[in-house]
Every structure is written in structure tokens, then in C-alpha cells.
């Protein structure tokens, strides 16, 4: 039986199944509930057998216009019996109901069975994404930022300037399908849910932006949501200063791991993450297919 997750118990079971299949992205039930509250159209499905969740489906939001992320997870022992296909069809149906034109999926590059599954269902590879993690050490401090630059928490008076930087960063992401930042209202709503949003200032001008999100509070995991610098101020060490300030804050507040992901074609950010000590995890493939009528 496949049913929509509605209660906290439903989401706890969903999170357990997700974390079993995606241990490198073991998000908490609170992370899922926060996303569900912020995105009312978001769908979480549970496939239930003998009172046990054996598969999940998710339909979320994307920065790509017309795209809807669709992710299906099935426990290894239940694969090959049609459950993944059933979950996928339910998710695609929901994405169509939201007037989406394209479904956006995600599989591990090394998981040849899953790559074959999505290819047989009309998905094509869109992007390759490298997931990374940094184990945080207590007592970590951040060095001084570049001359003339200050790093500070974002306050409401600078939302507009931060949104300009955020928008440039989103639009300049080297992805196969262009990304759009969305509205100022959506940006502000997301900022309100984040434990830390930093900006870089050149005088009164906001020139850099970096945000953290809590992925799994119990496990001590936070994620880098986005790091961006105005085009006019790039290659001056500002992104590094922002990320080092994030790392120091997370370590000071007792978090144990910082995760992020980088498009395989984003060489500057990949080099910076390597310099900061992030270790690569499984490479992921973004896959897409038209939804049709």
C-alpha cells in the first residue's frame, strides 16, 4: 500500500527508510517536516508492507523553471518487484498536477541498477554532482577576511542586497539547465529557517552570501545551502572567508559534520572545498525526463 505521509509517525518512518538507503544524507524528521510546512505542495509517499516502510517517494521544488524533483527510494531487499515503478508513477502524476513540464531525478553514479532503472523510464543524464563532507573539529577559528571585507550575520536591513548576490550565484551555477532564484519573498522565508546566514560586506555593499541549513540536529550535521559572491568581487578570497566563518561557527555550536555538494563543472568551488578539507562522497547524477500530458 502506498499512502501520503501526514503524521509525525509517518514522517519518522519515511526518514528511517530514507536514511537506510541514503546514509550519506541522513536528514532528520524535523528537516522533512520543516520542508513540508514551507512547501505545501511537497509530496512525501510511504510504501507500507506488513506495517513497515519499504519505500518512499518525494516530489519537491527546484530552482529550474518548470522542473519538479522526483526521488524514489526502495529498500534493497524489495527492489525488482515493481514497487519503484509504482512509486515513480505516483510521483510523476503529482508533478503533472503542479503543472511541471519536467521531472528531475537523482541517482548515485556507481549504482548501475538504479541508473538503468531511470534510463528505461525515459530519464536522461543532466548533470553530475559531487557530494562532500567535512568533519568539524572543536576550537576551529576563522582567519581574518581579505582587506576591506567584513563578514557578518545577515539582518533584515540587508535582505535586498543579499538577494542580489544570491540571485547572481544561482544564475551563474554551471548547470545543464538554467537555474532561477525565485522571488524575494521566497528567499526571505528560507532565510528565516536557517540557523546561520552570513554576508560579506565591502563598506555598505553586500558582496558575498553563505547560508547553512540543519540537515540532522541529532547527528550534528549541517549543510552548506549556497555560497555566492558578486561577479565584481570574485577571486579575492571572499568565498573562502565565508566558508571558513561557517566552519568556525558550526564547530563552536557543537556540530560534528558539514556537508555540501558541487556541480562537477564548478572547478573553482571544487578546488576551494578540497582546500578546506572536504572529502568527496558518492557522485550523484541529476537525471530528467519530460512529463508530457
SS3 15: helix
In terms of Cβ atoms closer than 10 Å to its own Cβ (0-12, 13-18, 19+), residue 15 is buried
pLDDT tens-digit readout, 168-177: 999 998 888 8
Q: Residue 175: what pLDDT?
A: 85
What is the reported pTM? 0.87
- Domains of the chain from N-terminus onward: 2-100 (3.40.630.30), 134-281 (3.40.630.30)
Beta-carbon-side half-sphere exposure of residue 236 (alpha carbons within 13 Å): 19
Average pLDDT on 262-284 reads 91
The helix-helix angle for 29-38 and 184-193 (nearest 10°) equals 150
pLDDT tens-digit readout, 35-66: 999 899 999 999 999 888 999 999 999 988 99
pLDDT band for 24, please (50, 70, 90 cuts): confident
Taking 70 as the threshold, does the pLDDT of residue 155 lie above it? yes
pLDDT tens-digit readout, 216-251: 998 999 999 899 999 999 999 999 999 999 999 999
Q: Residue 293: what pLDDT?
A: 63
pLDDT band for 115, please (50, 70, 90 cuts): very high
Average pLDDT on 110-139 reads 94
Q: Which three cell numbers stand for residue 57?
A: 517517494
SS3 55: strand
pLDDT band for 290, please (50, 70, 90 cuts): very high
How far, in Å, CA of 95 to CA of 203, rounded?
A: 45
Amino acid at each position: 500500500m502506498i499512502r501520503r505521509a501526514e503524521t509525525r509517525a509517518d514522517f519518522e518512518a519515511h526518514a528511517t527508510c530514507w536514511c537506510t538507503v541514503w546514509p550519506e544524507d541522513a536528514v532528520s524528521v524535523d528537516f522533512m517536516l520543516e520542508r513540508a510546512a514551507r512547501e505545501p505542495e511537497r509530496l512525501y509517499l510511504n510504501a507500507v508492507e506488513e506495517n513497515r516502510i519499504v519505500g518512499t517517494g518525494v516530489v519537491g521544488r527546484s530552482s529550474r523553471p518548470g522542473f519538479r524533483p522526483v526521488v524514489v527510494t526502495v529498500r534493497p531487499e524489495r527492489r525488482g518487484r515493481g514497487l519503484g515503478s509504482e512509486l515513480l508513477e505516483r510521483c510523476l502524476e503529482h508533478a503533472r498536477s503542479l503543472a511541471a513540464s519536467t521531472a528531475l531525478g537523482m541517482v548515485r553514479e556507481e549504482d548501475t541498477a538504479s541508473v538503468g532503472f531511470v534510463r528505461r523510464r525515459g530519464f536522461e543524464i543532466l548533470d553530475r554532482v559531487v557530494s562532500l563532507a567535512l568533519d568539524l573539529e572543536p576550537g576551529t577559528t576563522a582567519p581574518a577576511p581579505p582587506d576591506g571585507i567584513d563578514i557578518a550575520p545577515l539582518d533584515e536591513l540587508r535582505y535586498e542586497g543579499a538577494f542580489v548576490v544570491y540571485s547572481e550565484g544561482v544564475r551563474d551555477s554551471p548547470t545543464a539547465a538554467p537555474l532561477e532564484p525565485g522571488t524575494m519573498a521566497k528567499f526571505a522565508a528560507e532565510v528565516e529557517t536557517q540557523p546561520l546566514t552570513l554576508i560579506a560586506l565591502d563598506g555598505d555593499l553586500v558582496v558575498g552570501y553563505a547560508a547553512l541549513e540543519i540537515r540532522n540536529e541529532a547527528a550534528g550535521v549541517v549543510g552548506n545551502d549556497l555560497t555566492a559572491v558578486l561577479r565584481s568581487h570574485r577571486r579575492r578570497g571572499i568565498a573562502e572567508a565565508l566558508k571558513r566563518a561557517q566552519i568556525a561557527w558550526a564547530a563552536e555550536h557543537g556540530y560534528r559534520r558539514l556537508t555540501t555538494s558541487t556541480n562537477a563543472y564548478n572547478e573553482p568551488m571544487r578546488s576551494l572545498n578540497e582546500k578546506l578539507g572536504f572529502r568527496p562522497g558518492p557522485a550523484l547524477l541529476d537525471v530528467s525526463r519530460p512529463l508530457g500530458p
